[in-house]
Amino acid sequence: MSAGKYQQVVALAGGVGASRLLRGLVRVIPPESLTVIVNTGDDMVLHGLHVSPDIDTVVYTMAGAADPDRGWGLAEETWNALSAMERYGMDTWFALGDKDLATHVFRTSRLAAGAGLATVTAEIARAWGVVPRILPMTEDRVENRVVVEEGGRELDLHFQEYLVHHGSPDSVLRAYAAGVSSAQALPEAVAAIEAAHAIVFCPSNPVVSIGPILAVPGIGAAVSRSRARKIAVSPIVGGAPVRGPADRLMRSAGIDVSCVGIARYYAGIVDTLVIDERDREQAEDVATHCKCIVANTLISELRASEALSRILCEGVDIRTPQE
């Protein structure tokens, strides 16, 4: 690699967990060297508005504008439009904040004007001053669906319906990403993977966040072909997800809810898995599948995210400005 040219890093990202890692990562590597490929399987059209939950969480968090407690949505948000929607009997289970609404209205109107989701995502990221490239995994429609059993019947729900509206019940029968097998990978995402020195699998839900990204045929193939260093951070700590319903979804997919289960899931795909200090005793088991790094992975604090990012970079031989 020529001097002065940064080592390129690609991150595969879902929502909150990924975002919290990425905001530390860009303090350790040059932001220009990072490309984030984001899951769009949680996207939905709500009241005619195109909502991209994971893209928005990544952009808002990297801009330092996300609500620190919720993890999603904007800080100092208000909910007056949402309250007013109740009057019209509109579904209000998905919390659309007033400031957040501007993003959805902007995205929807730009898409209606013929712009692609990648272009609109770039415009949104630029508007928030986010320097890394934020790319949707595809511009085709992919929809994470979760099938649950409720009162003896199977209910086939959009992931956000499952998560928010139904409160993530335990009775998951299966999850699938509708449309993913025929989705065209975003060409810029494939090119970024091909140019990457390292690929970081963020601590996101493997079933409904990282899984769908890899299931886009062009992305999965590019990741397989790539000779980049591939490192994942386990989203499972102490036998439970740090947040969200990953446990229920993993169980339904036959994945053990542990960092070992994650290691098995990513076996043959990543060469290194970072597990949490609290799971230190499982390091040996993990090491039967891939290289194992033990670190603190609870990164709701920026400082912790930055520390983890340094360990990640060391693990995949990325030169950081400090070295």
Interface with a copy of itself by CB under 8 A: which residues?
A: 47-49, 77-78, 80-85, 87-90, 98-103, 105-106, 108-109, 112, 123-124, 127-128
**Least distance from a copy of itself to the Cβ atom of residue 142, Å:** 22
Task: Please check whether residue 36 is in contact with residue 79, taking contact to mean a CB–CB distance below 8 angstroms.
Answer: no
CB nearer to a copy of itself: pick between 92 and 320? 92
Nearer to a copy of itself, 80 or 181 (CB): 80
Nearer to a copy of itself, 33 or 103 (CB): 103
- Residue number, 87 or 153, with CB nearest to a copy of itself: 87
Report residue 116 as tokens: 């692609």
Task: Output 48 or 152, the one with its CB closest to a copy of itself.
Answer: 48
Q: Which is nearer to a copy of itself, 109 or 182 (CB)?
A: 109
The 8 Å CB, 24+ separation contacts for 69-74 are: 71/15, 71/16, 71/19, 71/20, 71/243, 72/15, 72/16, 73/97, 73/100, 74/99, 74/100
What's the min distance (Å) between Cβ of 117 and a copy of itself?
Answer: 15
Q: Which residues contact 33 (CB under 8 A, 6 or more apart)?
A: 6, 7, 8, 9
Least separation in angstroms between CB 129 and a copy of itself:
10
State the minimum distance, in angstroms, from the CB of residue 293 to a copy of itself: 39
Tokens of 301: 């604090």
Helix or strand run (H / E) with residue 158? strand 153-158
- 273 and 234 Cβ atoms separated by less than 8 Å: yes
Tell me which DSSP letter residue 185 carries: B
Minimum Å distance from CB 108 to a copy of itself?
5
Question: Is the CB of residue 78 less than 8 Å from the CB of residue 177?
Answer: no
Shortest spacing between CB 20 and a copy of itself, in angstroms: 23
Question: Do the Cβ atoms of 178 and 44 come closer than 8 Å?
Answer: no
Is the CB of 125 or the CB of 242 nearer to a copy of itself?
125
Q: In the numeric block, which tokens belong to residue 104?
A: 């959805």
Q: CB of 95: closest distance to a copy of itself in angstroms?
A: 14
State which H helix or E strand residue 134 sits in. strand 133-136
